[in-house]
A and B are shown apart, each in its own frame.
Chain A
Amino acid sequence: MNLNFSETEERFRGEVRAFVAAKLPAALRDKVLGHKRLEREDFLTWVRILNTRGWVAPGWPRKFGGQELDPARQLILEEECALAGAPPVLPFGPRMVAPVIMAFGNAAQQEYFLPRILNGEHWWCQGYSEPGSGSDLASLKTRAERRGESYIVSGQKTWTTLAQYADWIFCLVRTSQEGRPQEGISFLLIDMKSPGVTVRPIVMLDGEHEINEVWLDNVEVPVANRVGKENEGWTYAKFLLGHERVSNAALGVSKRALRELKAIAAATPAGSGRPLLEVPRFRDRIAEVEIDLMALEVMVLRVIAMDRERHTPGPEASLLKLHGSQIQQTISELAMEALGPYAPLHQPLALSADWAGAPAGPPLGPGVTGRYFNFRKTSIYAGSNEIQRNIIARHMLGL
């Protein structure tokens, strides 16, 4: 029993830290740490920088351009990047569609798509949810009808994160009405530039445009863009979900957020010459979430170790998602409360890095309250926490 990273893992951490310190542009870092709105180019800049070291998708097999980095090193990489203020590498390409293409796609699909994920040429988004199909995903209605060497796809996808930036969307579509709902689903790769694809913004509760509706109106998709077999898309979708192991724990970004929370509370006067950080009632709430984060970290390491032992992912990732999302919400809530009377301000202009003005109230204020509102999503997306509890009850408790 040993909870420490090995010497070589710590050396790897040093390499990552040095790389990020040298390569992450200061302006980009300040944007991330300052809660500024990130543009398409901000994400891609970082992807291109990471790609010079092979770190966009470091866990991929070497034959597809990866480095076969083990999960512990992937965790270290993600954490160091987050702590340094790098933009996140969005999961849709490297961690969601890519593993499906590797496992079930054909050679032509692998050759075409995988390198373009690594170099940032293709921005991917996820076409799973529909207005009538959230947690009950298998009830999805988007139809794909075979016409010669094409499918004609019609329907509507929703909650599509950053679809406004995307080049491609991977979609679950219905190719058969026969049998159980799960049995008639196929997995299609659709070019966002195809005629009939319309992206409509959904404004979120923080006033920001992060998610979208994607309308598909008689979109012609070559059969060659179907991954795997017709009507077996559900299997691939489940495979994809099983692939997300520890990143939903959001360890790195929560560590960064906790550090920021303490800095805000330390700089906030709270009477009697004391900063908010030293007011026991507030201090204790920070302490509790820090302890929760410590426990989450050990859990993540345990799951990584477990996976290494048995090679098949188990349902423990649901525990990580459940706890990790609650920690994200708690920290973001405390940061908002730390703003005190300034929490109500909505200053969307201040979220733009180009804005020359100074926001009213604490400098980080404009991003902090918005993030609290925005982070209600963490217990809803990637399988709502209720769905996670269902999974835990069924697969870990046998209920």
Chain B
Amino acid sequence: MDFTFTEEQTQIRDALRRFLSETYTLERHRRIARAGSGCDPEIWAQFAELGILGLLIPQPLGGIGGNAFDALVVMEELGRALVIEPYLATALVGAGILVRAGSPAQQEILAGVAAGKTRLALAHDEPDSRWRLGAIATRATREGAGWTLKGRKAMVVDGAGADYLMVSARTESGLSLFLVPGPTERLTRAALGTHDGSSVAEIALDGVRVPADALIGSEGGALALVEAAREVAIAGLCSEAVGAMDALLALTLAYVKTRKQFGVPIGGFQALQHRMADMLLHAELARSMSYLATAKLAVPDAGERRRALSAAKFLIGRSARLVGQEAVQMHGGMGVTDELATSHYFKRLTLINASCGDRDHHLDEFAAGMITSFPQALLSRSAANASAPRSSG
């Protein structure tokens, strides 16, 4: 048991925090959000310089070969600074897929990712899939030596700005993943803004032709890749939320200590103190679960891994809601303005809950796993078996 970060991780944290606190001001955040692309090239170049874009990319492929807890450290800082750049999409999810399953030729892209020249986006979710990874209608059919893709993708993070899309589609043998350059004929991308200023895209694939070597990994083998990517994304979002909650709690604390009503700081009122105590409790529960989620990413047992990730995403969604809503409430009228960072954190936290499965989705996943992992012999199937075991404990 060890809850300390390595010296390297502390260095990454310090360097990133210093850079972001100097550069990524609320004003800058607002400017980037207003610009609509969800990614400031200067910031992105700085990320490359800091080495974090190649965080999960092995050194021979141009990265720094970091691990999941390095990613946790980075995501916490990005959350703390309200960064809307698609770091998770490119550096953790996208690069993660190529590291895991990309062909040598596909992996050559990774050097560009680490250098900040190339962005990646996983185009998996669809208008009707509602976080169910297997509910994919997009089809890929063989045509000559290549494939033709037909379908629609929704809520693709950085889908409009990414240089490469990883498009999932059904083939005869199951779900497959294809590497498709962003600008491609018969592929249209519609950029959409979100409430936190980041950019997602709706993507239409109207008979997009790709060569045979566009396939990532094996044909029909994409579900495992997408699942793994989703798990990495969940752990990342959890860490990001923890960073955002830290910052929001600090903001709120500073506010209630200085804002005076009835001649005294409102932080002196017990009605607020107790709710602040609950906010802290829930933020700390969230931190605990974010550690657990990241630690479990490497567990080989899929059931155990998914249970932990769903548990974490559920709890963090719940904490994010409580901390976010309470922070706004305690800021009073100021909390519902665009002027303070408070509302921006609140919006980001709200959107995190809606990404990669919300509270209901993951509680359902977790509970389903709870049933299947329960000794089936003990499940009563008939009213004849009506009594509880005497000392089942």
- Interface set of A (CB-CB < 8 Å, partner B): 1-6, 9, 29-30, 33-34, 72, 83, 85, 256, 259-260, 262-264, 266-269, 273-275, 277-278, 280, 283-284, 286-288, 290-292, 294-296, 298-299, 301-302, 304-306, 309, 316, 319, 322-323, 362-365, 386, 388-390, 392-393, 396-399
Contact = CB atoms under 8 A, between A and B. Distances in A.
A275 B379 contact: yes
B374 interface: yes
Contact of B285 (A262, A278, A295, A388): A295
B107 to A, nearest CB: 28
Contact of B273 (A30, A277, A365, A399): A399
Highest count of chain A CB atoms <10 Å: which of B274, B364, B366, B388: B388
A1 B393 CA distance: 34
B392 A392 contact: no
Highest count of chain B CB atoms <10 Å: which of A1, A3, A322, A323: A1
B281 A1 contact: no
B367 interface: yes
Interface string B229-266: 00000000000000000000000010011000000000
A291 B2 contact: no
A284 B371 CA distance: 11
Given A1-B2, A3-B291, A393-B273, A364 B388 contact: yes
A370 B284 CA distance: 32
Interface string B271-314: 01110111011001110110110110000000000001001001
Nearest to A283: B367
B363 A277 contact: no
A298 B281 contact: no
Interface string B27-45: 0000000000000000000
A393 B314 contact: no
B391 A30 contact: yes
Contacts of A294: 289, 292, 308, 311
Interface string B65-90: 00001001000000000000000000
A271 to B, nearest CB: 9
B145 interface: no
A397 B1 contact: no
Q: State the majority secondary structure of interface residues on B.
A: helix
Given A294-B311, A306-B3, A392 B385 contact: no
A280 B367 CA distance: 8
B172 to A, nearest CB: 35
A287 B365 CA distance: 10
Contacts of B379: 266, 275, 277-278
Contacts of A392: 277, 280-281
B278 to A, nearest CB: 7
B173 interface: no
A284 B386 contact: no
A33 B374 contact: no
Contacts of B363: 284, 287-288, 291
Contacts of A263: 378, 388-389, 392-393
Contact of A3 (B272, B292, B382, B388): B292
Contact of A295 (B4, B278, B315): B315
A389 B393 contact: no
Contacts of A388: 277
Contacts of A275: 379-381
B311 A298 contact: no
Given A2-B295, A3-B295, 14 more contacts: A1-B3, A3-B3, A29-B391, A30-B391, A262-B370, A277-B379, A288-B363, A290-B311, A291-B311, A301-B1, A305-B4, A388-B277, A397-B253, A399-B267
B386 A1 contact: no
Nearest to A263: B392
Given A33-B391, A287-B370, A322 B281 contact: yes
The list of the 5 closest CB pairs from A to B, nearest first, reads A298-B288, A393-B273, A287-B367, A392-B277, A263-B392
Given A269-B382, A273-B381, A295 B2 contact: no
A267 B387 contact: yes
A393 B277 contact: yes
B289 A397 contact: no
B256 A1 contact: no
12 contacts: A4-B295, A72-B1, A267-B388, A268-B386, A269-B386, A292-B315, A294-B289, A294-B308, A295-B285, A299-B284, A386-B274, A399-B256
Contact of A305 (B3, B270, B292, B381): B3
Contact of A277 (B256, B281, B374): B374
